[in-house]
Amino acid sequence: MSSKIGLLLVNLGSPDAPTPAATRRYLAEFLHDRRVIDTSRWIWCPILHGIILRTRPAKSAKAYEKVWNEPEFSNQAVPVKLAPLVRITGAQAQALQEAFGEDVQVEYAMRYGNPSIEAALDALMEKGCMRVGVLPLYPQFAGATTASVFDGISKAIKARMDLPEIRFLRHYYDEPQYIKALSDSLTDHFATLDWKPEAIMASYHGLPQSYVDKGDPYQAECLRTTELLRQEMNVSEDYLFTTFQSRFGPKAWLQPYTDKTLEQMPKKGVKKIAVVMPGFSADCLETLEEIKLEASETFLANGGEKFTAVPCLNTRPDHLNFLKALSEQRLLNGWL
């Protein structure tokens, strides 16, 4: 009897609820990952447990509260009680399941929090899937994201007596269909505005500079993503440029920083700006709260006149078509 085929979508994760207790559990798992924080455990653990997990959960919970019931994502197939990132990823998985039909069994998981990678693999194996393609929903590779998903898969199967055949996708930032979907999403979004952006900022999640210095290719892949999008749109470097957001702690992170750049843009004559986030496959706290709300306030408070955050690709039909084709070509090829 031939084995069934499984496809596992994996994204970063969110707390189970916008509360300090749930956020503390999530942050504890996230910030214990050595891929995320590579500081010595003797130094890091006292800081994490003595300071961060005592102070940050309440602040983060308030941020999650602002976007938890985002109306734009309230009609997804996944229950509204879940965070936007989890809901959208679940909706992506359901759409792909409908597109594949019985040929492929699709599940989704979060690297941190729920649904867990272990639970998703259990579900696939219970369905008889002994061939599984793993699709981390990070366009660009980074040790703290894509490689950590690989670690999560390894941990989930470590104690199993029987293992499925597993294929793992590294990146997809340079796929023409992905770049075209990004470009079309910008065109579609701009069509809803009654003003024209004077510049487009491509904001990617940040990473400590030291990680790149040690060989992480993330920065180069982000810069290449923007370059490919610029070529697709036929625009200049001054019009479409790269920044990095979400820095954390005292270390130097990848620059230029999104918030600092937004503070300076009005002084340089750019009063109308759009921000697109090509490193995120689904809207989440970092796009909805940090960019759509906080970054907007920063830009307008410093003399900006118009600001818009371009939604992530989410469940756009062209994005779902791309994810299906990507899975068929690079993960499931020869199995189907």
pLDDT single digits (tens) 139-149:
999 999 999 99
pLDDT of residue 187: 98
Q: Is residue 335 part of a domain?
A: no
Asked whether residue 115 falls in the same domain as residue 195, the answer is: no
Range of the domain at 251: 176-309
Q: Is residue 288 part of a domain?
A: yes
Q: What's the average model confidence in pLDDT over 69-94?
A: 80
Q: Which CATH number characterizes residue 154's domain?
A: 3.40.50.1400
| Annotated binding residues | 205, 286
Asked whether residue 148 falls in the same domain as residue 209, the answer is: no
Asked whether residue 252 falls in the same domain as residue 111, the answer is: no
Asked whether residue 31 falls in the same domain as residue 151, the answer is: yes
pLDDT of residue 251: 83
Asked whether residue 184 falls in the same domain as residue 305, the answer is: yes
Asked whether residue 186 falls in the same domain as residue 321, the answer is: no
Residue 20 CA from chain centroid, whole number: 22
Tell me which residue has tokens 């199967």.
157
Residue 244 CA from chain centroid, whole number: 14
Asked whether residue 146 falls in the same domain as residue 33, the answer is: yes
Q: Is residue 101 part of a domain?
A: yes
| Annotated binding residues for Fe(2+) | 205, 286
Asked whether residue 94 falls in the same domain as residue 14, the answer is: yes
Q: For residue 1, what pLDDT band results from cuts at 50, 70 and 90?
A: very low
Asked whether residue 137 falls in the same domain as residue 274, the answer is: no
Distance, CA of 219 to CA of 36 (rounded, Å): 15
Asked if residue 76 has pLDDT above 60, the reply is no
Q: Is residue 140 part of a domain?
A: yes
Nearest to 185 by CA among 119, 133, 254, 233: 233
Comparing 39 with 117, the larger pLDDT belongs to: 117
Asked whether residue 123 falls in the same domain as residue 183, the answer is: no
Asked whether residue 140 falls in the same domain as residue 217, the answer is: no
Number of domains in the chain: 2
Q: What is the mean pLDDT of the chain?
A: 95
Written as one string, the DSSP assignment of 228-296 is HHHHHHT--TTTEEEEEE---SSS-BSSSBHHHHHHHGGGGT--EEEEE-TT-SS--HHHHTIIIIIIH
List, in sequence order, every residue forming a beta bridge with 108; answer none if it has no partner.
9
Q: Is residue 278 part of a domain?
A: yes
Give every CB contact of residue 55 below 8 A, 6+ residues apart in sequence.
none
